[in-house]
Structure 1
Amino acid sequence: MTVERWLRLRGKGLAMLHVTRGVWGSRVRVWPLLPALLDHPRALSSLAAKMGEYRKMWNPTEPRNWSQQYRERFIPFSKEQLLRLLIKEFHSSPAEKAALEEFVTHVNFCTLFHYHHILAQLQALYDPINPDRETLDQPSLTDAQRLSNEQEVLRALEPLLAQANFSPLSEDTLAYALVVHHPQDEVQVTINLDQYIYMQFWALGQRVGQMPRKSSVGFKRGFFKSPPAERRYFKRVVLAARTKRGHLVLKSFKDMPLEGLEQLLPELKVRTPTLQRALLNFTLVVSGVVFFVNVGMVVLSDLKMATSLLLLLFTAFMGLRASKMFGQRRSVQALELAHMLYYRSTSNNSELLSALALRAQDEHTKEALLAHSFLARRPRGARGQSEEETSQWLQSEVENWLLAQSGCDVAFNGTRALAHLQALTPSIGMYPPPGFPKLDPLSTITSPKAAPPSTDDPLSKPLCPAPPSQLVGN
């Protein structure tokens, strides 16, 4: 079997895995939050209304019905960790261990071509609107054409995010994140919804606890500072946003708190928190009163200056001082925001597409691995059940096992995992495929033998003189 023949089998669904309808499907549902090309103000009107509802609430701590809005789907183990756990618990014998490792190698080999093809299609769609393109510029696009291309990219990106086990954050969650500010966030920003055409967030890896130290930029310990509080944050967050005067922004961040999502948006302004503004104003008032009593009264009595002129100069001085203090504070907060984005940013734009394809491939492999291991130990009396009952049994068993192993409540997609496993079944035992080229191993680099030093080379001559026995005449 030649390489071309073997690769052609992938399209027929015989050797390579194929995407079943309902898992990826040829039809992609329209992105719910993506606005119409020419009617974008209506798309964010409902978001503004929900933001108004949260502003009327007294100290909300989480979005409404948060447990129903967000379900964690990310498997909190790497492929290597998951393989070790399954071998330890289900495949302890040498033969079973070798068979499982061979199965994982086969899945990795099959999914590599599949997701490489998906990534190539995504990059071809994204290339005309890629702001970081290093090749020759193409003809400029109109705003309507650019929005249409962005819509196609986001529609094609949605199933990849779903396979990577990212969960879309609802509009209600986004309204909560844009309104509520955590008291320990020293850097706070504000945005104008009128400047945006659309925005959407996806997240995975929900955690509740103290933020990682590298991501807690801006937190400073002091006499009046409380220790870091436990917060709800996500290990990964993906952002897709578009401003009226900008372009599609695709970015990924790590260790992002729920109340800090607005810090990731473009076209934002740093604002001073209410408590800090009150402290700055109090400092200005106290220092102004002290200065006026100690200096202003002396000037008024000695120089015989008019009271109105003195008050005018004092007001101008205090206004200049207040502007300088607030400006310096905003500059410090802007620098802290830049540091935070520097530490938390993982990828953006075209590089994000590659990262998502790799993550989707990993999640695909882990789901197939779990389905393979659990179905092999299914009770014999339950093997005659329907496919729907099998997927429900698989989902329940895997969720309970992941909860026991990691302590995380993960919503496992049994139907999709079963479809992945069934797509791989016809090609079991064909790795490596017949006729597939094998590259020669890297030749060992050997250093050439050292040549004897030349007597003509001054650097090869000894630095010390010859002993007396070798001198002429001795």
Structure 2
Amino acid sequence: MASYEDREAFIPYRRTDLIELCLEDGQLDAVEGQKFREFCSILSAYYHFQFHGYLESLKDNYAPFDPDADTKSRSETTSQERAAMESMLVADFKSILERANYTPLSQDSLQRAFEERSLIELKTHVDFNDFEQMVCYCRGDSYKIAGLKKFFRKVKKKINVFERVVLLIKFKDESYFASKRAKPDKLKFMPGKMYIYLYKNIPKFDIEFLFPNVKTSMTWKDRLLFGIPAIGAAIPLILKVLPQLLLVIGVILFITVGPSHLHLKELRPSEEEVRNIMPLIVAILSLVIALGGFAFQQYTSYKSKQIKFQKNVTETLFFRNLASNVRVFQSLIDAAEEEECKEIILVFYHLLTTNTPLTSEQLDNRIEVWMDEKFGTQIDFDIHGPLHNLEEIRGKMAQDGSGATNTPDVAILSRDSQGYCHLLSLDDALAVIDYVWDNAFLYSL
């Protein structure tokens, strides 16, 4: 069973399309093909029912932390209850992400990504100490061509992107931010709440812009482009106001230390200049206005640059956001349900059509080669999950009312002592999955 660093377990086909791909392979006749469809249909219904339960659990545990909640709680949760709910939520959330074939990004990986040059040229900082919980997963590590403006012309650049990024962060409580002297009305989030985001096509080295507490500043390049013209504009201004500046300094020194201590001719005003207060006032006002106007011009230029940066960030997040907070759960549940069903369908189909028994390693390699040769799609198939799931699907094969209800349950898949996989016949497997679905929701009369 090969392991590939440049491949993912994600299967880039819809479940219904994958079923058709299996049937188009030509290994099943028309009758078997119809039974295979029926098996896949019942399997999908069964897993949809299962994942609905996971969705309800996620929503229940998320309720105390939801910043968008518009419903009232019938009772306040205690701190111990909230801690338990948070722990269960995060554990279930990670499990769903992994079942949807997402891979985790550690804090160290994020820090390395932050240090790389991004498409939006900004100096950024994310304070991870603000978080009580931080979970980041991605899927679809690929390359895309992006158009960038460079020196009045547009160039194309190959960039590394994550096709899907999921971020869960829970901020610390109000007391922590109060200790940092952060003003509550200036925060872009609610302390103590949990924020969940789902994004698409995020450049790998722009991932820091997904964090609500990201702080931005100009890069050294922007500071030079900002500072050099400022210095160039300041030099003639200083030369222009230098006589007034020397006059102001001279008068101040004349009054405070006396004329005997003024040795420089440039700083020694005449008695007439000292007595005539109007030129002094005019000099001070012209100096203040000139320098103030220049400072205001530079400040306005900086704020304009900052607003432009913020606009770029906002547009990036707005057009790439797929869902946020509780709505993320539905998207991930759908993705996990699809991935799990697709994996089981591939394993079931290839065991159904093989002429010789296969070990898990042989089956894994067979599926990967089949996907590559038939469709030009390279994946790193995860064989363990679907094998376990097929072993867990157990039921009765006979349902004709002949007393077979007392027979023991049978698993759709079993493995012998040598590790070979054995699958029930298509008819028996269909009977078992049908029995499991009929008994998925039991109640007492």
* Bigger Cα displacement from structure 2, 317-326 vs 348-357: 317-326
Counterpart of 2:312 (choices 300, 312, 336) is 336
The 5 A counterparts of 1:304-453 are 313-380=289-356, 383=357, 390-405=359-374, 407=376, 409-424=378-393, 426=395, 428-429=430-431
**C-alpha distance 393-142 of structure 1, shift in aligned 2 (>3 A):** same
1:444 aligns with: none
2:72 is aligned with 1:136: yes
Counterpart of 2:134 (choices 192, 199, 204) is 199
How far did 1:311 drift?
Answer: 5.8
Counterpart code for 1:105: S
**C-alpha distance 358-324 of structure 1, shift in aligned 2 (>3 A):** same
Provide, for residues 162-220 of structure 1, a one-character-per-residue CA deviation record: whole Å limited to 9, x for no partner. Answer: 111111113331221222232x3245532223323332210111112225xxxxxxx65
Rounded to whole Å, the distance in 1 between the matches of 2:65 and 2:431 is 43
Classify the secondary structure of the residue corresponding to 1:175: helix
Provide, for residues 24-48 of structure 1, a one-character-per-residue CA deviation record: whole Å limited to 9, x for no partner. Answer: xxxxxxxxxxxxxxxxxxxxxxxxx
Counterpart of 1:94 (choices 27, 30, 38) is 30
Q: Judge conservation of contact 2:393–2:436 (CA < 8 Å) in 1.
A: no
**C-alpha distance 141-121 of structure 1, shift in aligned 2 (>3 A):** closer
Provide, for residues 94-123 of structure 1, a one-character-per-residue CA deviation record: whole Å limited to 9, x for no partner. Answer: 334323322221211111111111212222
TM-score normalised per structure 1:
0.66
1:237 aligns with: 165
Rounded to whole Å, the distance in 2 between the matches of 1:362 and 1:115 is 10
* Bigger Cα displacement from structure 2, 353-362 vs 226-235: 226-235
Counterpart code for 1:285: I
Counterpart code for 1:266: P
2:229 is aligned with 1:283: yes
TM-score normalised per structure 2:
0.70
1:52 aligns with: none
Rounded to whole Å, the distance in 2 between the matches of 1:311 and 1:425 is 89
**C-alpha distance 168-435 of structure 1, shift in aligned 2 (>3 A):** closer
Classify the secondary structure of the residue corresponding to 1:266: coil
2:201 aligns with: 255
How far did 1:404 drift?
Answer: 3.8
Classify the secondary structure of the residue corresponding to 1:376: helix
Q: Judge conservation of contact 2:371–2:377 (CA < 8 Å) in 1.
A: yes
Counterpart code for 1:341: L
Unpaired runs of 5+ in structure 1? 1-66, 212-218, 437-474
Rounded to whole Å, the distance in 2 between the matches of 1:196 and 1:365 is 35
How far did 1:300 drift?
Answer: 8.6
Classify the secondary structure of the residue corresponding to 2:157: coil
Rounded to whole Å, the distance in 1 between the matches of 2:304 and 2:78 is 40
Counterpart of 1:176 (choices 112, 134, 137) is 112
Unpaired runs of 5+ in structure 2? 174-190, 247-277, 396-428, 439-445
**C-alpha distance 188-288 of structure 1, shift in aligned 2 (>3 A):** same
How far did 1:91 drift?
Answer: 4.1
How far did 1:238 drift?
Answer: 0.7
Provide, for residues 43-98 of structure 1, a one-character-per-residue CA deviation record: whole Å limited to 9, x for no partner. Answer: xxxxxxxxxxxxxxxxxxxxxxxx85x86221111113322322222446433432
Provide, for residues 282-338 of structure 1, a one-character-per-residue CA deviation record: whole Å limited to 9, x for no partner. Answer: 232233345556x6589899x977988766654433332222211121112112211
Q: Judge conservation of contact 1:207–1:234 (CA < 8 Å) in 2.
A: yes
Rounded to whole Å, the distance in 1 between the matches of 2:377 and 2:243 is 70
1:41 aligns with: none
Rounded to whole Å, the distance in 2 between the matches of 1:408 and 1:283 is 53
Rounded to whole Å, the distance in 2 between the matches of 1:408 and 1:435 is 32
Counterpart of 1:79 (choices 4, 9, 15) is 15
2:220 is aligned with 1:274: yes
Q: Judge conservation of contact 1:90–1:373 (CA < 8 Å) in 2.
A: no
Q: Judge conservation of contact 1:128–1:138 (CA < 8 Å) in 2.
A: no
**C-alpha distance 434-348 of structure 1, shift in aligned 2 (>3 A):** closer
Classify the secondary structure of the residue corresponding to 2:381: coil
Classify the secondary structure of the residue corresponding to 2:61: helix
2:145 aligns with: 210
Alignment size in residue pairs: 353
1:110 aligns with: 46
Counterpart code for 2:68: D
How far did 1:353 drift?
Answer: 1.3
Q: Judge conservation of contact 1:165–1:204 (CA < 8 Å) in 2.
A: yes
Larger radius of gyration, structure 1 or 2?
A: 2
**C-alpha distance 176-101 of structure 1, shift in aligned 2 (>3 A):** same
Provide, for residues 224-260 of structure 1, a one-character-per-residue CA deviation record: whole Å limited to 9, x for no partner. Answer: 4452311111111111112224222111111112111
Rounded to whole Å, the distance in 1 between the matches of 2:299 and 2:74 is 46
Q: Judge conservation of contact 1:300–1:310 (CA < 8 Å) in 2.
A: no
Classify the secondary structure of the residue corresponding to 2:307: helix
Q: Judge conservation of contact 1:202–1:239 (CA < 8 Å) in 2.
A: yes
Q: Judge conservation of contact 2:97–2:332 (CA < 8 Å) in 1.
A: yes
Q: Judge conservation of contact 2:244–2:283 (CA < 8 Å) in 1.
A: no
Which structure has greater strand proportion?
A: 2
